[in-house]
A and B are shown apart, each in its own frame.
Chain A
Amino acid sequence: MSSSTPLASSGATLTTDVLIIGGGLVGGTLGCALAQHGIGAVVVDRDSQDHLLEDDYDGRSSAIAGACQRILQVVGIWEHMKPDVQPILDIRVTDSDSPFYLHYDHQDVGEEMGWMASNRTIRRGIFARSAELPNLTMLAPVSLVSLERTQDGVTAVLSDGSTVRAALVVAADGRRSQVRQMAGISITTLPYHQSGIVMTVWHEKDHQGIAHERFLASGPFAILPLPGGHHSSLVWTEKDSLIDSLLSLSPQEFHAELISRFGSFLGEVKVVSKVFAYPLTLQFADRYIDRRLALVGDAAHGMHPVAGQGMNYGLRDVAALVEVLVNAKRLGVDLGSTAILTDYQRWRRPDNMLMLGMTDGIVRLFSNDIKPLRLARTLGLAAVNRLPKLKVFFMKHAMGDVGKLPRLMRGESC
């Protein structure tokens, strides 16, 4: 495995086309995608690659929708992660202990519903791909000291004393984006008063590629199949007020709470990873662009993980931004010009707002125990199950195939 790129001596100046702050799943994929299309990129991350690949750094897994898998494929990252992904063949959605459930079967759409991969697997894929691209430079561990965006260009000074000049800077530095704050772009935040507890479990029986999403009174509870058949990733949402007491239970007590939600359909169950807790909030940036700046992924929009779309919507941003920039490059247009960035915002913002709205509606509808609502939910789930066209629409949406698709998402190079 490649370690972080050793840095040039302090005071060195690097000149590139696009500077990306944040080398996570979204920023890293963007860097690879740009470089592959002949646009130079420098990706800066605070943490070293070795640290990012440690077991305790990020215990999450991501569901990768079909359209996003095509992006990873075209960009050449998928090749490096293929041995470690699990296809999702079937999704079963149930509401508490209601007898009805919604059954999404991949045979209805004729392909996998998506894939599960640990974030570590995706990162490893990105690092492996980035090492193959000569016009992509990954700088880590380095942080941003100052950022100047003028009419003529972007100049960033990094913590090791080096300087990067570029035509455009992209903020891929997550929910608490430093670059977004520096640009004075405000965000609107809606707290859910819920946290997501994430862990990996081992189970006795094979999951057979089936994902389960249960809408419990406290919030959604998802069991997502991981490679090998006997491991699943759990996303267990719980009210904020209960999180501390839940996490301070003895292992036996915690296990009992887990089983009461998980059930016994996969036989014996054991927690095999650290238990991570993430507070859940929905947030969206008021603008995605500023002078020579574009926001992507969580820096622009943070969603509830219920629909499993956080990373997928980040990759949609990547695909749209790459297409807009490649088109601009072929016209010789300055990659940081306002006309180009406006195209990106016009393309992505309405789409993300729609998904935020849909996910928010689902969470608020399902995260409660009010009798009439539960009845309506139960009937609604059963109804969707009986209307094949509507179901295929929901499935296609979850798979990322609805809306104006960038070329990368159609599996084409730009």
Chain B
Amino acid sequence: MANATPSTALPEELAKFEAMADSWWDPEGKFKPLHQFNPERLRFIVRQAAARFGRDETADRPFEGLRLLDVGCGGGLLCEPLARLGFSVTGLDAAEKNIRIASLHAEKMGLAIDYRCDLVEKLAERGEQFDVVLTMEVVEHVDNVDLFLAACSHIVAPGGLLFGATMNRTLKSLAMAKIGAEYILRWLPRGTHDWRKFLKPSEFVGSLRASGLVVDTLKGMSFNPIAGTWSLTDDLSVNYLLSASRN
């Protein structure tokens, strides 16, 4: 991608996802862990958003009237549920094949989602604004994290929320999320993650703060291998997620 402005998309990362794009919606496929923890991270998003915007979670389509942008939407695993909950959803991905797969799937599910193959910094340049911006399990795949997070922060409308999730850069995460998940359990294809690109919570929070956001919640996410379920914890050492707001 030859651009005048510096791009946050990494060609080798894009190629990795293009190769796996067909299996986004296969619950037993390469993205199985995402399918498994999808309900738990959705619960986090729904709770925080309902509280922030004063919506009733038990209502039908509680988030009607709010605009949501999912940066690095992949196959649309978060876009679709959030569209069902009433958000008007825009899904953004730098990998063209992801956008094709996501659009096709949404059409089959009868969901209207605005999927775009574009970069978040381009949207920021154009001055677009969203009530909710998601960047879940994405920062570990981009180039120039600060630039990327600055763009994500700038498109959060005043009063809006940003949700972020990634993996911490600790010895435990190297053992579990990288070696364990990719090499031992084979949950993820080898080479899915580069541990050096994992982000410490302090780095994530610092970058958002520099762009004028306030981090409200920071939670860990842990897998219970006996129950086979993911849950929110206070242990940030491997997977974590956060919510931040623009006041």
Contacts and interface: CB of A to CB of B under 8 A. Distances in A.
B80 A330 contact: no
A333 B42 contact: yes
B109 A333 contact: no
A339 B83 contact: no
A342 B37 CA distance: 12
A332 B82 contact: yes
A370 interface: no
B186 interface: no
Given A331-B42, A332-B42, A332-B81, A342 B109 contact: no
Contacts, number: 51
Contacts of A151: 25-27
Contacts of B81: 331-334
A339 B35 contact: yes
A330 B227 contact: no
A331 B35 contact: no
A331 B83 CA distance: 10
B85 A332 contact: yes
A350 to B, nearest CB: 12
Interface string B72-104: 000000001111110000000000000000000
A152 B39 contact: no
A343 B231 CA distance: 13
A328 interface: yes
B60 interface: yes
A232 B69 CA distance: 64
Interface residues of A, number: 18
Interface of B: 25-28, 35-36, 38-39, 42-43, 46, 57-58, 60, 80-85, 105, 108-109, 227-229
A330 B81 CA distance: 9
A394 to B, nearest CB: 29
Contact of B35 (A38, A327, A337): A337
A342 B43 contact: no
A371 interface: no
B7 to A, nearest CB: 31
Given A151-B26, A340-B39, A346-B227, A334 B109 contact: yes
Contacts of A162: none
A332 B59 CA distance: 11
Contacts of B108: 152-153
B39 A328 contact: yes
A338 B35 contact: yes
14 contacts: A38-B60, A151-B27, A330-B46, A330-B58, A331-B46, A332-B80, A333-B42, A334-B80, A337-B27, A337-B35, A338-B27, A338-B28, A338-B35, A339-B35
